[in-house]
Structure 1
Amino acid sequence: MNIEHDRLYELLCEFDDICSKEKIEYFLTGEALLCAVTKGVLPDTMGYVNVIMDCANVKKFIKAAAGRKDRTLDYWGNDPDYPDFSVRYVDEKSLCIDVTDYENYKAHGMFVAISILRGKFPTDDKSQKIEAIEKGRAQYLTGGSETTGRELKQYKRATMILGKAKVMDRLFNYICRNCKGPKSKGKGYYGTYDITFAEGKGLTLSASYFARGGAKASLDGREFPGPRFVVSFLNKAYKGRLTPMDDGYVMEGKAAGFDRLIVRAGVSYADYFQSLAGDEAGLKGLRQLAQDAEKIKDQRKGYRKKAAHDWKAVRAADYRYKMWEFYTEDRKTEIRKLHEAGDYKGLRRAFGPYTDALEEAAESNIVFSFDEEMLDIYYDMMAHFGLNKRMDAMIQGMPKSHEKKVEQEREGGCHE
């Protein structure tokens, strides 16, 4: 377990507590549900957890969670550029970036992704116009302003009259009120529902998965609500196959994807982007990965190689910020005193975290620095201990943008 695991699990438990208190029904899904079935614990590398709610419950959750300290809700109601009909409950004091689509969101902390069960639009004229606006908006996102079509024209007309923010807020509320799913005299889930998961996959799910309160899923010793027929549900969601083992299940046929997430529990996403703004290579790499998302998924060698290069620049910027955050002004003052006194053993101890980070980064052929003055002292320490070959390799591999202090770079402004 690490701090990222603990932070995400804490957020999930907080989410569960809110739902329990407000009698909001939800179901665990995605990687978290898969982990509950296969291992019983959240992995250390996850930055978000997927859950499912229906329209009525998601409205209750938005009301219950609004205004909580260090939390934000990301959805059409407060972000008209949010990509789809879902909600994110975000921890503002952490960092979780999916490099292939980070530009689609405002909040980049660790989060609970709420995928919403929805039914079809009613057949009356008003509903058909609203549905056309939603389709037109989807066309605009995929094809841009040059796309033509009846639905797109209706979306553009609506945004010109009301403004994009009001259109998307009204669209969200209209769908929640009028697309709740099949009608029934009784209570519960009936028929089928459409859903879009956080990964962008769309499915039609049978109500039988959510009938009678679903089933329990255990993570790290705590039970969370999950859908019924969990194995069948996961097979449908992942298009893979769960094979029973003596101690649970193992997933077969699930392709390993490109490692797209940057997850940090100890830094807010606002501070991270503030630092990254001046690192041209890192920021360019982040933007390029987002632009080439579909090409990266294509798995072709050329695209994969280019993506690996961009990812390397992003990771170097991430390592750099982590060390800048660790080496406060007090720690740097201590290092200066040790250097002036010629205490190289003390310097080796003081630079221990930086050395460890360099060795970890070296496994990915990454070299980085967080402060020009500290780097000079580090080089002097290496020369003292006869580490000249290692020092030469660092000098040759050091990105030029890392020769400046992070504070100097911050003068360039903050990435939006």
Structure 2
Amino acid sequence: MPGRLRSSLVRGRSGIWRLVGFSLSVVVLAVTSLAAIPAMIAASGQAAWGSVALGQAIGTIGGVAVGYGWGWFGPARIAQNSATERRIEYIESIKARASLFVPVTAVAATVAYLLASTDPTFAAVGALYTTSIGLTANWYFVGSVRPYTMLSLETLPRAAGTLLGVLLMYQGHSAIAGPLGMFAGMAAGFVFSSMWVMWETKRDGAAAVPTRSLKILLHSNRHGIFSALGSVTYVAAPIAIVSVVAPAVQPAFALADKVKQQIYLTSGPAVTVLQGWVPRGPEEGRIRRANAALLSAGACSIALGFATWALAPTLVSWLGSNQIALTGGVVVLMSALVALIFFQAVLERAVLASFEQLGIVATAILIGSIVGMPVVGFGAHSFGTVGALSGVLLGMSLSVVIELFAFARGRKRVLQRKVLDT
């Protein structure tokens, strides 16, 4: 018993340090990103900031397209594979993502430019930055459980680029310096991380093996991209809809959306830990861990929602430079969305992905979008930010209900097989 207890304590401490390491990356990026918002508003005004936010939202979809699902299935592959297989996986990911980066960036920047009602160039540059996030190597570090390597090689360069942009803006440059600095930091992080992966796998004895053709790569990984792209599109599409149907409320909606996303990002390490914990072992064990993950996610979601409700007014006042105000109803809806987004992330990435049910994710989000997006447009036009956020909440809630039913059916099938086998 003492030996088991000692082993459990060691594993517990190790898990805590990993969580702390991944949390540090999230906190550093969140703080620097938040610091850039008032700098952009002060440099060029709230309309320019709204254009940058629009471009970043559209570029987020582009970034997921460039990432091509490696953020969903990549960690499990890295965790299970040898040095040679890890090296091949990373090289193939670069091969696929690099081929997509230029055309996807061009499309995202063009769409952002055309949708922006003011300062379209700012929107295009915002799209450039967030599309480049698809080149991230963080999935490799998650799979190899190296949070502090990720912090050193990718997070800190990205933060430095953001702070450079903030410094330039306070020295008199326009808000475009913000996303340009962020892009420079992302590019540096990509180079440093890729160099380290090549060195690390070679050190561990990776053999030189030819990679698959681009056509085969894109085809074999299509399921991951459909789920990832559908998920992020639902999150990013509302700001584009609001920009078209109700441009007057777009800055307020953009600020509410940004605060919501930044608060949610602070919970990212918990999703990451569960993403690596649930899939381990046989199916029966995965069911127990999936149930535990959903219960803990439900409790954490409630706490996260209340924390958002308490912190949002202060964040909005600071980030909006006292130029943008949000009503109490908007804050309540933001809080509900933060809670639901966290729960859905655990459900999709940690639970459904563990049972190879990613196909239902795309279907659920499609149904939620068909129902929710028209409500976003109508609500924004008729009721402003409250109406738009209500549409987002409606569609996302429907998606979560569908995904929960899918998990319940899958769990029932596994238990029935177990009974038949015995």
TM bucket by the smaller chain?
under 0.3
TM-score by length of 1: 0.27
TM-score by length of 2: 0.27
Query: Which has the larger Rg?
Result: 1
Q: Name whichever structure is richer in strand by fraction.
A: 1
Q: Name whichever structure is richer in helix by fraction.
A: 2
